[in-house]
Chains A and B, each alone.
Chain A
Amino acid sequence: GAGVSQSPSNKVTEKGKDVELRCDPISGHTALYWYRQRLGQGLEFLIYFQGNSAPDKSGLPSDRFSAERTGESVSTLTIQRTQQEDSAVYLCASSQGVHRPAGYTFGSGTRLTVV
């Protein structure tokens, strides 16, 4: 597609439920990134993929968070047993490569609210 697509755009879930957030990167972009942004805060890096592999998982806040990418395309971020502190906008970005100064293109994000 022309841009990075994220779905759903909004998600309200009950505490303790699992959620899956989806990101469709720009076609041909080999690198994909997930960030989290709490209300009024800056961007917090979660994880990135080069192809289908994730060399750096250190940003994931806890073992309740996991992510995968298949076919060097779609990525899903899964949060298990959601907590209220997981409420945030989850942003996905893609770029042509990791170790090049290529610009990131961000999606519009998924606003997650845990009630």
Chain B
Amino acid sequence: DAKTTQPNSMESNEEEPVHLPCNHSTISGTDYIHWYRQLPSQGPEYVIHGLTSNVNNRMASLAIAEDRKSSTLILHRATLRDAAVYYCILSRVGGSQGNLIFGKGTKLSVKP
């Protein structure tokens, strides 16, 4: 699977929007973009995924660049509970590898 690059850490203020970037310059046409987050002392939690079009759900929005070589997870109003490690992962439908590979992610800190 293609690799992703994320900043090690980011800071945000409570109730402000947060834009978490992810670069995936070697993405292929059949790679989906997934975002998970891991709150302290918990297992990872699915956030959102997309292929080409921007996606919205109750947790976040996913903005995908037109060339698909980068994407941004948008938290519209950060809360203290959003402090977590955020993982951007690519997976290939029908690929030989059946599992998601988690990188180091971005540790998001939210200040009150």
Give the B-binding residues of A (Cβ under 8 A): 4, 31, 33, 35, 42-43, 45, 48, 50, 55-56, 59, 91, 93, 98-101, 103-109
B44 neighbours in A (Cβ, 8 Å): 43, 91, 93, 104, 106
Majority SS of interface residues in chain B? loop
A55–B98 Cα distance when bound, in Å, is 9
B42 neighbours in A (Cβ, 8 Å): 108
Given contact pairs A101-B34, A101-B91, A56 touches B97 in the complex (Cβ within 8 A): yes
Give the A-binding residues of B (Cβ under 8 A): 32, 34, 36, 42-46, 49, 51, 91, 93-95, 97-105
Given contact pairs A42-B105, A101-B34, A106 touches B45 in the complex (Cβ within 8 A): yes
Q: Are A98 and B46 in contact (CB under 8 A)?
A: no
Q: Are A101 and B93 in contact (CB under 8 A)?
A: yes
Across the interface, A104 reaches (CB within 8 A) one of B32, B46, B95, namely: B46
B43 neighbours in A (Cβ, 8 Å): 4, 91, 93, 106-109
Across the interface, B32 reaches (CB within 8 A) one of A33, A43, A45, A101, namely: A101
Q: Are B98 and A48 in contact (CB under 8 A)?
A: yes
A59–B100 Cα distance when bound, in Å, is 12
Q: Are B46 and A50 in contact (CB under 8 A)?
A: no
